[in-house]
Every structure is written in structure tokens, then in C-alpha cells.
Amino acid sequence: MHKRALGNSGLEVSALGLGCMGLSFGYGPATDTPEALRLIRRAFERGITFFDTAEAYGPYRNEELLGEALAPIRDQVVIATKFGFEFDGQGGQSGMNSRPEHIRAVAEAALQRLRTDRIDLFYQHRVDPAVPIEDVAGTVKQLIQEGKVKHFGLSEAGARTIRRAHAVQPVAALQSEYSLWWREPEAEILPTLEALGIGFVPFSPLGKGFLTGAISENTTFDRTDFRNSVPRFTPEARKENQTLVDVLGDLAARKQVTRAQIALAWLLARKPWIVPIPGTTKPHRLEENVGAADVALSAEEQRDIEGAVSRIPVRGERYSAQQQARIDR
């Protein structure tokens, strides 16, 4: 797989990364450890060198899994993890915390769980309104100077916050949701990133699985699957949003690829500094996603996709009201 540079940071990664959250958290029961280890190592064998995790995924279990899987090849991969939450005794999130002393504590713990001496990309998971972003950026800057962190990242941050942070410590990458059915970043975020030379790492590039065509209005999610709380995933919304999936299917059939490959190839064609991180627990889906890196879209095909998709309204918010409240504007 070819490589991409995340903006002007000097951080080079595979054109597609692997979002590892779903192996431990968020989409139902955790994948059995041996199976998860095999999938992560298979991703590396297929050319993926960029692996995304967070202390919140579990919490902690996902970092431990990634540390075990990548220990033998640590110097050949880029590991991204995140800070910014507190957790209660039952493993749930109990609030945000990006105070400098907490960032340092999270970094030290993550290094242990990841079995490494440095974190390649350390994201603030969500912007903490109680802590000035300058203090956050300054703390990560110190960790970089100490060699414990290589690059600083933000997640779901607004343009103003990005600029303030970048003035203290250059931001290597922003990680936020972006896909054919969530295009809000195009208005303000992408121009800001381009102006500052910051890379973009879209999470949920396949619409949390919906754009693959594997989910219908009749799909039942496990009770622990967070999509149960997402307005866009109510049965009624899924029924109406099926139109977008059908259109993607037509476009994919014309190109002789899959819906997922069209969706990922479209993101890759947007900017050379965009690196999507689709996640999966299934080896065949991993192979399908990797194949998207070889799907080239002509300018005409990109216009066809744009034209077809832009005419289709999407029903439902991407987050619940509580989750939306955590998004920086």
C-alpha cells in the first residue's frame, strides 16, 4: 500500500489506517483476543502501518490488545492513541479531563499498555471546555520534548480551537467523522486544515457500517452496541437512508467494486493528506477495505458520485443530544 503524509508534520503513514475501537468496544461484545490479534497482524501484512486506539476503548483493553499485537513490529508502525476522559469504576466515562497532570498520567499509562517508549500520535479525544486548549497543547509539547510523544493531534475540534492549539504546538492531524453521509467538515474544517498544513483522519468513513450495505431497517444490534442510541440508526431512519446505499450500489456495480470501496476511494480522492481509518472485526472486510486503496476515481467519476449523493437527504442526527454536547464548535 502506498503512503501518505499527514500534512506538513513529517508523519508518514499508510494511505488507509485501521480503526481498532470495534475490536474491544462500542459495537457489541469484544472480539476474542486471538482473533483480534490475528486481524491486526493481518492488517500489517496487507500494508497498513497506521493503527488507531484510545484509553477510552474498553477502557484500556484496546490499548493493551494493540500493544500485544504490534510489539514484534513496533518500529514499523505508527500508533495513535488518545486522552481526555475520566472513567468510573464500572468502566464507563464519567466526564472529560484534559488537565495537564491528567494528560501526563494518561501518557505514562498508555506507554505501558502499548508496550512502547513513545506514542507516535497523541490526540485530545474531545475538547475539554474546562481547560484552555493552550494548556493542553503546551503539555503535549512538553511530552514531545521529553521524547514520550512524537506528534500532537485533536479530535472533533472546531476551526478556532485548531488554530489556537496549532499556535502553541503544531497539530499533525485532526481526527473527526467524515464520509459520504456526513460532510460537515467540508464547510470550515478542511479549508482550515489545508491552510495550516494539518492532516485529516476521518473516522467512521463507512458511516458506522451503514454505507457497506450490510445494515437494513430490519437489522438488530447487540444491546451494548452504541448505534442503538444514534438517531441516524433508528429503523425509520435506516429505511429512509437506504436510498443512499442503493445509489452507492449502482455506482459500485458500474466500477466493479463494492460500496465500501467506492466510499473509501472517494475520501482518498478528496485530498492527498486525508487518511481514513475504517474499522472491522472481520477478515474479509479488512481485505475489502484494503482493496479500496487501489481504486482510482477519475474526475468524471468523482463528479458522478458527488452529483448522485448530494441530491439525497440523510435522515437523523449522527449523535444523541448528550453526545452532540461534547462536540467543539
DSSP single-letter state for residue 66: H
Amino acid code (one letter) for 99: R
Q: Under DSSP, is residue 122 helix (H, G, I), strand (E, B) or coil?
A: strand
Q: Which three cell numbers stand for residue 172?
A: 499533525
The burial of 155, by beta-carbon neighbours within 10 Å (0-12 exposed, 13-18 middle, 19 or more buried), is given as: buried
Q: Which of 298, 309, 302, 285 is nearest to 16 (CA)?
A: 285
Q: Which of 130, 123, 136, 261 is nearest to 198 (CA)?
A: 123
Amino acid code (one letter) for 233: F
Q: Which three cell numbers stand for residue 215?
A: 445494515
Strand partners of residue 171: 152
Report how far residue 210's alpha carbon sits from residue 221's, in angstroms, rounded to the nearest whole number: 12
Residue 123 annotated among the catalytic residues of the structure: no
Report how far residue 59's alpha carbon sits from residue 239's, in angstroms, rounded to the nearest whole number: 33
State which H helix or E strand residue 133 sits in.
Answer: helix 133-145
Of 57, 60, 178, 319, the catalytic one is: 57
DSSP strand pairing (12-14 vs 85-87):
unpaired
Q: Where are the beta strands (DSSP E) in 10-143?
A: 12-14, 18-19, 50-52, 78-83, 85-87, 93-96, 119-124
Count the neighbouring beta carbons within 10 Å of the beta carbon of residue 5.
Answer: 16
- In contact, 170 and 139? CB cutoff 8 Å: no
Report how far residue 61's alpha carbon sits from residue 215's, in angstroms, rounded to the nearest whole number: 27
Catalytic residue annotation: 57
